[in-house]
């Protein structure tokens, strides 16, 4: 089998690693543009050989590839791919049958793949927020088409809020990217360590807190930020009066939480698992309780659950905004009221958001 010596070769080898049954023979000259995305064609041009193009004969794509689950967050699953010689690539897949998408990398090149049954070259536009570019995508032969993504475009994807793919042969596919940054970070970590789970790199072990109230799985599919110590919590940062922790559950990122012990002996935990914001207070309660949450002078209905000896309050975004701007709060949970301080909550919320976006990976301090 002949392959052009280029990033497209690398990208196609990565894709073969994702679909072990695929044995498509594609010889793919690359065509560049001024766009941030590289456009390419799957058509073979015999003139390339006579023009002295660098073409090399390679071995057949190995058929002993194996996918191993590396991590998961929400509806995303991240896999490491290896063959008999060792690690090959990593990819993340969104488990949504209506909007299937994959993020692929070998460390040398990134790919963005979407479902396409035509098995033909796919042209179209990609819009990252309001930045539109054209693309030509390679058919993989197994119902997908893959676009090579430059490092610049990849960085935009991590920060963007919306992604739209508009292929010429069918309608627009739109994604909200709020949940993309975490799986992309996990794919990066997977690539950096060639598929090996290195907890010490994800979350520094010297900051490990064996917390007897560490959270665990919640009924809605996410995580409670308090519980019976099922999660391991690591120091992520300190923000004014708050200590920010990231948590692993069974060696997978679970949530980030800010803990504040305020004057008078009170405690409060404010956390987020990329699905649900929640406040936890050290009072016994029943599951599925109802009451009120007062933030400064604003009083609203509150619901939540109980985990261990703690009460959890589910927060909507309006509640979170009030907490960010507030100075003190009171929870009425049926049996009694619990007063707590919100001093420094705005900075804590900002740091918790950053922690979740980075999947708990603390920024490296510049020397």
pTM, to two decimals: 0.52
Give CA–CA dist 117/210, Å, rounded: 49
Closest CA to 82 of 71, 70, 93, 66: 66
What's the token pair of residue 343? 């001093």
Please give the average per-residue pLDDT across 66-80, as a whole number. Answer: 82
Q: Are 351 and 204 contained in the same domain?
A: yes
Q: Are 91 and 160 contained in the same domain?
A: yes
- Confidence tier at 19 by pLDDT (50, 70, 90): very low
Q: Are 41 and 129 contained in the same domain?
A: yes
Q: Which residue has the higher pLDDT, 73 or 284?
A: 284
- Identify whether 157 is part of a domain: yes
What is the reported pLDDT for 48?
A: 24
DSSP 6: S
Q: Are 280 and 149 contained in the same domain?
A: no
What is the reported pLDDT for 63?
A: 55
Question: Could you say which of 147, 166, 192 is where a domain stops?
Answer: 192
* Collapsed DSSP state (helix, strand, coil) of residue 93: strand
- Identify whether 155 is part of a domain: yes
What is the reported pLDDT for 308?
A: 84
82, 158 Cβ separation under 8 angstroms: no
Q: Which residue has the higher pLDDT, 201 or 231?
A: 231
- Identify whether 367 is part of a domain: no
What is the reported pLDDT for 178?
A: 59
146, 15 Cβ separation under 8 angstroms: yes
What is the reported pLDDT for 116?
A: 81
Q: Are 253 and 171 contained in the same domain?
A: no
Residue 313: burial class (beta carbons within 10 Å; 0-12, 13-18, 19+): buried
For the chain, the straight-line distance linking the first and the last C-alpha, in angstroms and rounded, comes to 48
- Confidence tier at 14 by pLDDT (50, 70, 90): low
Residue 165 has pLDDT above 70, yes or no: yes
Q: Are 20 and 99 contained in the same domain?
A: yes
What's the token pair of residue 210? 């064996």
Under 8 Å CB-to-CB from 284, ≥6 apart: which residues?
306, 309, 311, 335
Q: Whole domain around residue 323: which residue ranges?
A: 199-357
- Identify whether 69 is part of a domain: yes
Give CA–CA dist 84/288, Å, rounded: 51
Please give the average per-residue pLDDT across 87-102, as a whole number. Answer: 84
Q: Are 256 and 324 contained in the same domain?
A: yes
Question: Could you say which of 167, 192, 217 is where a domain stops?
Answer: 192
Q: Are 263 and 169 contained in the same domain?
A: no
Q: pLDDT, tens digit, for every residue of 212-269?
A: 678 888 888 889 999 887 888 888 889 988 999 999 888 778 999 999 998 888 899 9
What is the DSSP secondary-structure string of 256-324?
EEEEEEETTTEEEEEEE-SS-EEEEES----TTEEEEEEETTEEEEEEEEEETTEEEEEE-HHHHHHHH
Q: Where do runs of H (alpha helix) occur along the chain? A: 7-18, 47-50, 151-159, 181-192, 199-202, 317-325, 345-357
Report the 3 state secondary structure along 221-239: CCECCCCCCCCEEEEEEEE
Under 8 Å CB-to-CB from 232, ≥6 apart: which residues?
208, 209, 210, 211, 214, 247, 248, 249
What percentage of residues in the chain have a pLDDT greater than 70?
76
DSSP 43: -
Q: pLDDT, tens digit, for every residue of 47-58?
A: 222 222 222 333
Q: Are 182 and 246 contained in the same domain?
A: no
Q: For residue 250, what is the domain's CATH number?
A: 2.60.40.1880
Q: Are 230 and 264 contained in the same domain?
A: yes
- Identify whether 364 is part of a domain: no
- Identify whether 365 is part of a domain: no
Pairing status of strand 277-281 against strand 310-315: antiparallel
What is the reported pLDDT for 279?
A: 97
175, 163 Cβ separation under 8 angstroms: yes
Q: Which residue has the higher pLDDT, 140 or 63?
A: 140
Domain count, the chain: 2
150, 36 Cβ separation under 8 angstroms: yes
Q: Which residue has the higher pLDDT, 180 or 311?
A: 311
What's the token pair of residue 147? 């676009």
> How many angstroms separate the most distant Cα atoms in the chain?
85
Q: Are 128 and 11 contained in the same domain?
A: yes
Please give the average per-residue pLDDT across 191-199, as a whole number. Answer: 78
36, 112 Cβ separation under 8 angstroms: no
What is the reported pLDDT for 367?
A: 46
Give CA–CA dist 81/251, Å, rounded: 19
What is the reported pLDDT for 27?
A: 27
Residue 277 has pLDDT above 90, yes or no: yes
Question: Could you say which of 163, 192, 221 is where a domain stops?
Answer: 192
352, 257 Cβ separation under 8 angstroms: yes
Q: pLDDT, tens digit, for every residue of 308-337?
A: 889 999 999 999 999 999 999 999 987 789
Q: Which residue has the higher pLDDT, 194 or 277?
A: 277
DSSP 327: S
Give CA–CA dist 159/178, Å, rounded: 9
Q: Are 188 and 205 contained in the same domain?
A: no
Under 8 Å CB-to-CB from 84, ≥6 apart: which residues?
62, 64
- Using left for φ > 0, alpha for ψ between -120 and 50, and beta otherwise, residue 334 falls in left
Q: Which residue has the higher pLDDT, 266 or 349?
A: 349
What's the token pair of residue 81? 């791919």
Under 8 Å CB-to-CB from 97, ≥6 apart: which residues?
none
């Amino acid at each position: 089998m002949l392959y052009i010596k280029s990033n497209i070769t690398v990208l196609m080898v990565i894709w073969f690693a994702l679909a072990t049954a695929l044995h498509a023979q594609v010889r793919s000259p690359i065509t560049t543009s001024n766009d941030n995305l590289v456009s390419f064609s799957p058509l073979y041009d015999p003139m390339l050989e006579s023009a002295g193009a660098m073409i090399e004969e390679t071995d057949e794509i190995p058929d002993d590839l194996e996918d191993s689950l590396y991590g998961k967050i929400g509806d995303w699953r991240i896999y490491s791919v290896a063959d008999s010689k060792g690690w090959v690539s990593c990819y993340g897949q969104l488990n949504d049958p209506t909007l299937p998408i994959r993020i692929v990398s070998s460390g040398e090149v990134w790919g963005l793949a979407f479902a396409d049954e035509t098995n033909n070259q796919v042209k179209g536009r990609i819009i990252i927020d309001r930045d539109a570019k054209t693309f030509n995508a390679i058919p993989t032969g197994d119902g997908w088409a893959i676009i090579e993504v430059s490092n610049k475009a990849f960085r935009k994807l991590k920060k963007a809020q919306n992604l739209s793919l508009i292929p010429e042969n069918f309608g627009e596919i739109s994604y909200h990217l709020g949940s993309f940054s975490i799986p992309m970070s996990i794919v990066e970590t997977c690539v950096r360590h060639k598929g090996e789970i290195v907890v010490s790199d994800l979350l520094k072990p010297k900051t490990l807190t064996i917390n007897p109230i560490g959270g665990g799985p919640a009924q809605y599919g996410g995580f409670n930020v308090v519980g019976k110590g099922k999660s391991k919590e690591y120091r992520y940062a300190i923000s004014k009066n708050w200590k920010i922790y990231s948590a692993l559950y069974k060696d997978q990122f679970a949530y980030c939480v800010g803990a504040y012990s305020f004057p008078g002996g009170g405690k409060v935990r404010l956390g987020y698992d990329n699905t649900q914001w929640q406040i936890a207070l050290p009072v016994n309660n029943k599951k599925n309780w109802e009451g009120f949450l007062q933030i400064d002078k604003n009083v609203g209905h509150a619901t939540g659950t109980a985990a261990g000896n703690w009460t959890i309050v589910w927060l909507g975004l309006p509640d979170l905004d009030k907490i960010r701007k507030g100075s003190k709060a009171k929870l009425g949970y049926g049996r009694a009221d619990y007063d707590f301080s919100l001093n420094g909550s705005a900075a804590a919320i900002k740091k918790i958001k950053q922690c979740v976006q980075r999947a708990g990976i603390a920024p490296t301090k510049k020397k």
